[in-house]
A and B are shown apart, each in its own frame.
Chain A
Amino acid sequence: MSYVSVSLPQLLLSLGLMAMAIAISSHNRLGLERDLAIGTVRAAVQLFAVGLLLTFVFQNEHPTTVFGVTAVMVVVGGWTAARRIAHGPGTAVLFRHATLAVLVAGVVVLVPVFAFVIRPPRWYEARLVIPISGMILSNAMNGVALVFERVFASINEDAAGVEQLLSLGATPKQAVERHVRAAMNAALRPTINALLTVGLVALPGMMTGQIVSGTAPDQAVRYQLVIMYQLVAVAAVAGALAARFARALSFDEREQLRTFPDPRVR
């Protein structure tokens, strides 16, 4: 194990990289200096906070702390996925559904892998459960967000077509089938593309991290493969659940298409 540490003064030197970006922005009048400066500080604050939290959790490794952190990830993921969805029933309603989709998809994909594939020495092993759950849950979150965004927008855009199908005797499921399928497709696309190009252009972050911190490449590769397959599965499960929820939310109990006022008009 040849672990190379970064001291704080060394870390400060890396601020020169941000200075470079800010200089370019200013020279080309991109107007991004403010965002870059805020981003520099924010990223540092957020990551150090997470670092402190992880240190605390690792030192107090206990099912409650480990799963407390995972639960927070689920809720924050659900909330993030439910935000800013135009033409939907609103964040409050979507939040419940998004959180449920992230939770179920996360459990379905994470539990079997920890139980049969990765098999940590302790089942609540923080150093494995937290980072891996984080990656998987955030992909679930992205899948849900993509599906919500797409389904509600495309149903709204094609409301007349959906009602036309209803008129011809379509069930709600049939009436929005095309839209739901397109949305689920869109939700899986990014993860599938990552699967197809992984290793060709860039090494995935986790694998890079493991190699940098001294893990043998062949082990890092195996971990990465498991993660990638998990990412695909979680996007599929979360996307499918979100699609079901979105469909149910788009109709009332009389099988009529509900319309949601544009939030800008609301």
Chain B
Amino acid sequence: MVPRFALAFSHQVSYQALRRRMPALLEARRLRKTYGGRVLLDGVDLRLAGETVTTLGGPSGTGKTTLLRILGLLSDPDEGQLLLDGVNLHSVIPHAARRRIALVAQAPVMFPGTVLDNVRTGPRLAGEELPEATARALVVRAGLPPELLRQDAQSLSGGEKLRVAVARSLALRPEAWLLDEPTAALDAERADLIVRLLRELAAEGAAILVVTHDARALEQLEGPHFQLSSGRLVEGRPLSGDAS
């Protein structure tokens, strides 16, 4: 019942959000990152094109989260460059650039306050007040019942927190999305909803990278797939059934 309601609602929201824009392009060139002598990224080239959902897999501890953090400008590579729509992100004010790149962590932290407060955070940081109706629409679009708006965000389940984090980022209408195992804490139905949302966002022009081991999600997201292995990205889908 929730997903159908969400769908009905999402069309309303999309009045504003669905305006297509120039497809975004987030590029990483020759990224290198080491931690304590261990090479995690060894010259990684990645081109995240708008209108595309790229997926990333690879064994635990190979540096997928590290790569997302670098792409999300939370950590600097030792070497290499990042470009958003052709502009070198090193020459851009970091906090302005980060607004354009959503980073949804694997276990997102909720800020103190209600779900509504959380969804309003991004615009508020820029001095704008998100109308409650818009916040409600975003929450629904992220797959949560609108009644949750007044609930204390800290009290939510892991899966709900993840969807609040998605709604929180939606409020900024970012050009690029980086998601770290977004379906891991969700049941199949909610996972499908997130996957559908990602496809919608891509259709609107966003460049999306999803780290995932979820075979079902991988099946539904037909964009390019990479495996991170020994510091390099290898293109190609894993054999079915391999969810390591």
Residues of A within 8 A of B (CB): 158, 160-161, 163-172, 174, 178, 254-257
* Residue among B74, B168, B172 with most chain A CB within 10 A: B74
Q: Decide: B111 and A167 in contact? CB cutoff 8 A.
A: no
Q: Decide: A166 and B95 in contact? CB cutoff 8 A.
A: yes
A163-B74, A256-B76, A257-B74 are contacts. A171–B95 as well, Cβ < 8 Å? yes
Q: Decide: A169 and B95 in contact? CB cutoff 8 A.
A: yes
Other-chain contact of B121, A158, A168, A255 (Cβ < 8 Å): A168
Q: Decide: A164 and B109 in contact? CB cutoff 8 A.
A: yes
Q: Decide: B72 and A167 in contact? CB cutoff 8 A.
A: yes
Residue of A nearest to B89 (CB): A254
Q: Decide: B111 and A166 in contact? CB cutoff 8 A.
A: no
A160-B109, A256-B74, A256-B75 are contacts. A165–B103 as well, Cβ < 8 Å? no
Q: Decide: A174 and B111 in contact? CB cutoff 8 A.
A: no
Within 8 Å CB of A167, what residues of B? 72, 74, 98, 101-103, 169
Within 8 Å CB of B169, what residues of A? 167-168
Q: Decide: A165 and B74 in contact? CB cutoff 8 A.
A: no
Q: Decide: A168 and B172 in contact? CB cutoff 8 A.
A: yes
Residue of A nearest to B74 (CB): A163
Residue of A nearest to B168 (CB): A168
B80 adjacent to chain A (CB < 8 Å): no
Q: How far apart sit A164 and B98, CA to CA, in the bound complex (Å)? A: 10
Residues of B within 8 A of A (CB): 72-76, 93-96, 98-99, 101-103, 105, 108-109, 111-112, 121-122, 125-126, 165, 168-169, 172
Within 8 Å CB of A165, what residues of B? 111, 121, 125
Residue of A nearest to B75 (CB): A256
CB distance from B88 to the nearest CB of A (A): 13
Residue of A nearest to B126 (CB): A169
Q: Please provide the 3 A-B residue pairs with the shortest distance between their CB atoms, ordered closest to farther.
A: A169-B99, A255-B94, A168-B122
Q: 7 more A-B contacts (CB under 8 A) besides A167-B169, A168-B99, A168-B121?
A: A166-B95, A168-B98, A168-B172, A169-B95, A169-B172, A256-B74, A256-B94
Within 8 Å CB of A170, what residues of B? 95, 125
CB distance from A252 to the nearest CB of B (A): 8
Within 8 Å CB of B95, what residues of A? 166, 169-172, 255
A169-B122, A170-B125, A254-B76 are contacts. A164–B172 as well, Cβ < 8 Å? no
Residue of B nearest to A173 (CB): B95
Within 8 Å CB of A168, what residues of B? 98-99, 121-122, 125, 168-169, 172
Q: How far apart sit A161 and B161, CA to CA, in the bound complex (Å)? A: 13
CB distance from A114 to the nearest CB of B (A): 43
Residue of B nearest to A252 (CB): B76
Q: Decide: A166 and B122 in contact? CB cutoff 8 A.
A: no
Q: How far apart sit A192 and B185, CA to CA, in the bound complex (Å)? A: 47
Residue of B nearest to A160 (CB): B109
Q: How far apart sit A256 and B95, CA to CA, in the bound complex (Å)? A: 9
Q: How far apart sit A168 and B101, CA to CA, in the bound complex (Å)? A: 8
Within 8 Å CB of B73, what residues of A? 254, 256
Q: How far apart sit A169 and B121, CA to CA, in the bound complex (Å)? A: 10
* Residue among B102, B111, B168 with most chain A CB within 10 A: B111
Q: How far apart sit A170 and B165, CA to CA, in the bound complex (Å)? A: 15
CB distance from A260 to the nearest CB of B (A): 15
Q: Decide: A164 and B94 in contact? CB cutoff 8 A.
A: no
Within 8 Å CB of A255, what residues of B? 93-95
Within 8 Å CB of A161, what residues of B? 109, 111
CB distance from B162 to the nearest CB of A (A): 12
Within 8 Å CB of B93, what residues of A? 255
Q: How far apart sit A167 and B94, CA to CA, in the bound complex (Å)? A: 10
CB distance from A185 to the nearest CB of B (A): 15
Other-chain contact of A164, B99, B111, B112 (Cβ < 8 Å): B111
